């Protein structure tokens, strides 16, 4: 009889233990670090300010037809309850730039802006819809191509880089356990300087894409 009691008790205890093990394992999986990678298409709406052309202030400037894309990797650790995380991001657009200075000299060029950013992001950690917002710092690279500006002999390619920062907000929509769609707005600020051309670059971006959770 004692042996039977011990055996029955062991089976019941083992079942409970296994149940707890499964429960704890599932809880651990739910609370583990979130890692994702995403791809996006982007549209840029630049606001060029403080531009100078051949040493004179520009009285008229226009940046337009800015389209591009990007990708990013996000990590939300368990120790922040997957609410606060970081992103490594690379995105950019290419378009056209035209300007005229106070002397009436006009110029135009293709303008490509590429941004490498480190973002700190706050988000809703679970649910089908996950709003998020954040702030990022990094570098922007500006490339002039086909630049026909007064005071410039180089009309091929000319590149520069500068410190940049951005604010952003968006929404993720979980379409499966591993995949999601997202839409994002961001505002980026930097300053770009080439030979005979300089400008303060402020741009609003709209991005949309998809990603995978790991």
**For 163-203, what is each residue's pLDDT tens digit?**
999 999 999 999 999 999 999 999 999 999 998 889 999 99
Q: Determine contact, residues 109/87, Cβ cutoff 8 Å.
A: no
Residue 21 reports pLDDT greater than 70: no
With cut-offs at 50, 70 and 90, classify the pLDDT of residue 90: very high
Whole-number percent of the chain with pLDDT over 90: 65
Q: Number of H helices and number of E strands within the chain?
A: 1, 8
Could you tell me the sign of the dihedral formed by the alpha carbons of 114, 150, 101, 105, in that order? Answer: negative
The residues near 155 (Cβ < 8 Å, ≥ 6 apart) are: 146, 147, 148
pLDDT at 202: 96
CB 36 within 8 A of CB 214: yes
Q: What is the mean pLDDT of the segment spanning 1-7?
A: 40
In this prediction, residues 109-113 reach a mean pLDDT of 96
Residue 58's pLDDT band, with cuts at 50, 70 and 90, is: confident
Q: Is the pTM of this model over 0.85?
A: no
Q: How far apart are CA 132 and CA 184, in angstroms?
A: 9
Element of type H or E holding 144: strand 129-148
Whether 13 has a pLDDT exceeding 80, the answer reads: no
Closest CA to 200 of 151, 149, 162: 162
At CA 107, angle to CA 105 and CA 112, rounded to 5?
150
How far apart, in whole angstroms, are the C-alpha atoms of residue 111 and residue 117?
19
Q: What band does 31 get if pLDDT is binned at 50, 70 and 90?
A: low
């Amino acid at each position: 009889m004692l042996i039977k009691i011990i055996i029955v008790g062991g089976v019941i205890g083992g079942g409970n233990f296994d149940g707890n093990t499964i429960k704890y394992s599932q809880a651990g999986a739910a609370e583990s670090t979130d890692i994702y990678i995403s791809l996006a298409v982007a549209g840029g709406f630049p606001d060029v300010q403080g531009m100078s052309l051949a040493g004179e202030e520009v009285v008229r400037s226009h940046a337009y037809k800015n389209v591009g894309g990007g990708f990013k990797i996000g990590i939300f650790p368990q120790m922040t309850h997957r609410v606060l995380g970081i992103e490594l991001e690379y995105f950019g657009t290419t378009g056209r730039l035209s300007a005229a200075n106070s002397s009436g000299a006009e110029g135009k060029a293709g303008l490509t802006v590429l941004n490498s950013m480190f973002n700190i992001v706050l988000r809703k950690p679970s649910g089908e819809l996950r709003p998020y917002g954040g702030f990022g710092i990094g570098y922007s690279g500006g490339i002039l191509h086909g630049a026909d500006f007064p005071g410039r002999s180089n009309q091929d390619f000319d590149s520069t880089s500068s410190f940049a920062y951005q604010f952003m907000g968006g929404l993720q929509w979980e379409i499966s356990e591993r995949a999601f769609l997202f839409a994002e707005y961001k505002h980026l600020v930097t300053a770009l300087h080439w030979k005979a051309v300089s400008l303060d670059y402020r741009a609003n971006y709209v991005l949309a894409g998809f990603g995978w959770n790991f």
